[in-house]
Structure 1
Amino acid sequence: MVTIGVLAVQGDVAEHMRALEESGARTCAVRRLTELAEVDALVIPGGESTTMSKLLCAFDLFEPIAARIRSGMPVWGTCAGMIMLADTVLDGRPDQRSFGAITMTVRRNAFGRQVDSYEEDLHIAGLDGGPFRAFFIRAPWVESVADDVDVLARAGNAQNGPIVAVRHGAVMATSFHPEVGGDNRMHDLFVRMVKDCLSSRKEQCACDGD
């Protein structure tokens, strides 16, 4: 069984942990270096991205998380977590930091203020079982991605609609809040990603040993 941490400085930590556990993972709320060391993967939940980056620096967590991501730790960012994983952030504060885990340009609060929050049924590449009900709350969107980044979903399911879900290797990001609504399929997908990543590492280590 894999252990997946949920960054616990802001956002729907308990809701993500519940969904991950129902998807077959152990979970750990991550606020300290010792807790980060215990996990195989990390979920960065929603919240306010500038505040989140400041808290991570204040808790001496930013650089250790960045190092784990660079070393190949699977990570999934939702809403503000998507902003934290981008290499370019539009409309952000000058002192805002992000991990640069995916080569993409993200616009903060692209869908508008809290009153502009909405939900829709999204077709998500690689997700079985039909459309996924997605909840957008002061959500960002992705304006552009590198050629090696997979676009999983677009708002309105339109061919040229704003990008709202992406994946690059072991890193995934979604504009919406998948922990809301009781549909755990996105969490199922991430748990499978983590298991596949760990399995690939074990195979590589075995080959290196030969």
Structure 2
Amino acid sequence: MVTIGVLALQGDVAEHARALENSGARVSLVRRQDELARVDGLVIPGGESTTMSKLLVSFDLFDALGERIAADMPVYGTCAGMIMLASTVLDGRDDQRCFGALDMVVRRNAFGRQIDSYEEDLDVEGIEEGPFHAVFIRAPWVESVGAGVEVIARAGNRSDGPIVAVRRGAVMATSFHPEVGGDDRMHGLFVDMVARA
């Protein structure tokens, strides 16, 4: 059984932990470097990306997490977590730091403000048994990806729709919140990625 951490600085920590446990993983909440050292993979939940960046620095976790990611630890970022994994962020703050784990350009709050949050059924590559009901809350989208980054879902299920899910090796990111709604298939996909890593 793999042990997957959930970065527990902000966001839907309990919901991610439940979905990972339902998918067969042992879960550990990560707030300190010693907790990070004991996990096989990590989920970076949604929240507010600039605040998350500052909290990671305050908790002395940013550099340690960056080193683990650079050493090929599997990681899954959702919403703000997607922003944290990007190489380039549009509409971010000058002091915002990211890990550059995925060669992609991400636009913060691309779908609009809180009032513009919405839900849709997405066809996600790697997810079987029908579409995945995705919940977008002040969500980013991916403007472009570099070599090796695979697009696994687009908004509206259109070939020209905004990119909302990507992966490269054992790193995955989604614009939407898969922990909301009781469908654990995205977490199951990540648990399988960690088990194969």
Q: Secondary structure at the match of 2:178?
A: coil
Q: Distance in 2 between matches of 1:69 and 1:44?
A: 12
Letter of the aligned partner of 1:140 in structure 2?
P
1:168 matched to which residue of 2? 168
* 2:114 is the alignment partner of 1:114: yes
| Structure-2 residue corresponding to 1:3 | 3
Q: Alpha-carbon deviation of 1:148?
A: 1.1
Runs of 4+ aligned structure 1 residues displaced above 3 Å come to: none
AA aligned to 1:106 is V
Structure 2 unaligned regions, length at least 5: none
- Counterpart code for 2:102: I
Partner of 2:88: 88
Match of 1:37 in 2: 37
What is the Cα deviation at residue 34 of structure 1?
1.1
User: Does residue 123 of the first structure (1) align with residue 116 of the second (2)?
Assistant: no
Q: What amino acid is aligned across from residue 3 of structure 2 in structure 1? A: T
1:132 partnered with 2:136: no
Aligned-pair identity (%): 74
Measure how far apart 1:147 and its partner are.
Answer: 2.5
C-alpha distance in 1 between matches for 2:126 and 2:5: 23
After TM superposition, list the pairs within 5 Å mapping 1:49-128 onto structure 2: 49-128=49-128
1:15-56 deviations in whole A, cap 9, x for unaligned? 000000010000011000111011000000000000000000
Q: For 2:64, what is the secondary structure of its paired residue?
A: helix
Please state how far the C-alpha of 1:135 moved relative to its aligned partner.
0.1
Aligned-partner Cα distance in 2 for 1:192–1:142: 24
Relative to the length of structure 1, the TM-score reads 0.93
Report the CA distance between 1:82 and its aligned residue.
Answer: 0.1
Map 1:131-210 to 2 at 5 A.
131-197=131-197
Q: What residue is the counterpart of 1:17 in the other structure?
A: 17
Which secondary structure state, in structure 2, belongs to the residue aligned with residue 63 of structure 1?
Answer: helix
Deviation string, structure 1 residues 136-170 (Cα, Å, up to 9, x no partner): 00000000001211000000001100000000111
Tell me, in whole angstroms, the C-alpha distance in 1 between the residues paired with 2:90 and 2:75.
22
CA distance in 1, matches of 2:126, 2:137: 24
Q: Which consecutive unaligned segments of at least 5 residues does structure 1 have?
A: 198-210
Determine helix, strand or coil for the equivalent of 1:95: coil
Could you say what the CA RMSD is over the residues aligned between the two structures, in angstroms?
0.4
What is the rounded CA distance, in whole Å, between the counterparts of 1:27 and 1:158 in structure 2?
Answer: 35
| Partners of 2:64 and 2:44 in 1: CA distance | 14
- TM-score, normalised to structure 2's length? 0.99
Give the letter for the 1:61 counterpart.
L
